[in-house]
Structure 1
Amino acid sequence: MKRYRKDITTWIIIILFLIMLFFLYNQFKTDRYINQGKDAPLPENLDPVVTEKTEKLIEQAAEKNITVAITETVRSNQEQNALYEQGRSEDGRVVTHAQGGESYHNYGLAVDYALRNHNGDIIWDTNYDGNNNGEGDWFEVADMAKELGFEWGGDWSHFKDYPHLQMDFGLSIDQLKRGHRPKHDKADK
């Protein structure tokens, strides 16, 4: 009987410890964002960390003789809905599966990129090797972006979005819709 009580006490202590760890983890995680409420306005500009990392990406690419063109940053819900209709009710091919409010672009947390060739034309050729190093410049840029903390849409399994780079800062679209926004400190930069 004593052994049985000792086993139960041990398990209760383990479970309480795990609950405490879970609570502390979630507390830390919630300190990483600000809740501006469900009616929070959508940002009009890129998040400052996304801006900084995008600028670093452009600089790093230039050091490898790759010219990156940022083709898209923040989108309104109306712009996102219009893009969503492309390839559906409008002419063109489908380029997104996200409607207004469903894209990290709507929250200033995503950019789209392309390349500039030697003539200065913007191109979306993933095989283009303008720096003649035997690697597609597109994928070199994607690798640099991932090293800077971006998620690359080309890694997605459900829909490949090769121009897309985003930083979600641990926030889901549902949280962003509810008004949560990233909170940055100096360590994030």
Structure 2
Amino acid sequence: MKTRILFIILGVFAVFYLYTQYQKYSSRPMPTELNPIVEEKMNSLITKTEERGISIIITDGFRSEAEQNVLYQRGRSTDGQIVTYAKGGESYHNYGLAIDFALRNDNDEIIWDMEYDGNQNGESDWMEVVSLAKELGFSWGGDFSRFKDYPHFQMDFGLSIQELQWGKRPPDVID
């Protein structure tokens, strides 16, 4: 009986804590562009890949909730393959914390070929880009356990999607 009462009390405190956290941040507006730190790191990634003879293009960055919902419908209620499992507000793109990339080959074509070695150094250009992005602090979607998202990089700053939905925001300047 005492254990049950203790669990009830702990449950009430947990609900109260979560509610106060939600109230503390819930009035913050949604971002409308890439986080400045993510943008700075993205630009560094472009420069570093160019220095290695690799040309990349950023195919997506900030994405509104409406744009995310359109992508979510692909392969469900609209034609095409499923490209995301995240609805609007459930993607780091919606908070300006993610980018997607592709390679540009010697013919100036945009490709998603993970084996392509355009700089002829014996290494996959794709994996060279991944390595550079990780050095800059990005997480790679190819490491995700549920849905492999090979063109995807993100910086979550230790924040979960739920915390972002509640209104918590990462820093926008490097200390």
Q: Which residue of 2 aligns with 1:76?
A: 64
The alpha carbon displacement at 1:116 in A equals 0.5
The alpha carbon displacement at 1:158 in A equals 1.1
Residues 15-58 of structure 1 show CA distances to partners (whole Å, capped at 9, x for unaligned) of xxxxxxxxxxxxxxxxxxxx973132221111010000000000
Gaps in structure 2 of 5+ consecutive residues: 1-22
The alpha carbon displacement at 1:184 in A equals 4.5
Larger gyration radius, structure 1 or structure 2: 1
The alpha carbon displacement at 1:152 in A equals 0.3
Separation in structure 1 between the aligned mates of residue 93 and residue 143 of structure 2, nearest angstrom: 18
Separation in structure 1 between the aligned mates of residue 174 and residue 87 of structure 2, nearest angstrom: 33
Q: After TM superposition, which residue ranges in structure 1, 4 or more long, deviate above 4 angstroms?
A: none
117, 138, 142: which is aligned to 1:154? Answer: 142
**Structure 1 residue 114 corresponds to structure 2 residue 102:** yes
41, 46, 49: which is aligned to 1:53? Answer: 41
Q: Which residue of 2 aligns with 1:22?
A: none
TM-score using structure 1 length:
0.77
Q: Which residue of 2 aligns with 1:138?
A: 126
39, 44, 51: which is aligned to 2:27? Answer: 39
Separation in structure 2 between the aligned mates of residue 80 and residue 186 of structure 1, nearest angstrom: 28
Gaps in structure 1 of 5+ consecutive residues: 1-34
**Structure 1 residue 129 corresponds to structure 2 residue 117:** yes
| Closer/same/farther in 2, CA of residues 123 and 175 from structure 1, 3 Å limit | same
Separation in structure 2 between the aligned mates of residue 134 and residue 86 of structure 1, nearest angstrom: 36
**Kept after mapping to 2: 8 A contact 1:36/1:181:** no
171, 186, 189: which is aligned to 2:159? Answer: 171
Q: What is the aligned-residue RMSD (CA, Å)?
A: 1.4
Residues 93-112 of structure 1 show CA distances to partners (whole Å, capped at 9, x for unaligned) of 11111110000000000000
